Structure 1
């Protein structure tokens, strides 16, 4: 298994844990901050600004990581998220970036309703969207 695939598995598991621990603790202000980050994310995706989309996506996910109160999550994510940024840039600069906006909305809705398992499942589905992009060759002529 490539390091990028390992990084995705670890990152997905850490975000699932963050959501599981955070949802019961999230406040109205936290959910509003998630909505605002998702609005910035949507605007960046719409204009094809992958770097701004990544920043907004990081802001969005940092809310649950912070609310979880689990410092180990942040430490692990700092190590394993960077290898996924190339795939995130590809996703956020393509039409599938719009799907991520909807997935963020589902995560918010399920969290607000208090359905921890559904919020965790939405989080898992969101992160697994990167899997097909891992190891994708760079565009350009094929070499033999």
Structure 2
């Protein structure tokens, strides 16, 4: 960890174990902060995914993300207090490691365009044109494991 990284504890588990904390983070970031309609945030895929949840030193959930069965990484969210401190990177790396461990050849994600440089630092490259989802500009990004 470098100077800007905060001390976190990260868990990766099924939805039943992660649901309360993952939902709370996603609600704060997507529904409250980004004003995404709540009905667009929840889908029936959560129960089929592996979920990562990051906790700060005090035990508060500060970030989350999920890995779908098809190798998509999604619902990456970090509360404001954890941004720029290595929380998103830790979540992303943990989900990528899970995908690689189970034998996925690649991981794909739909990134908000403002996060393209972040994902690029971890080997993701743009795949296709910009599009809008919930009124926010997104791009598809892909990382092929070597």
TM-score by length of structure 1 reads 0.32
TM-score (norm 2): 0.32
Larger Rg: 1 or 2?
1
More strand per residue: 2
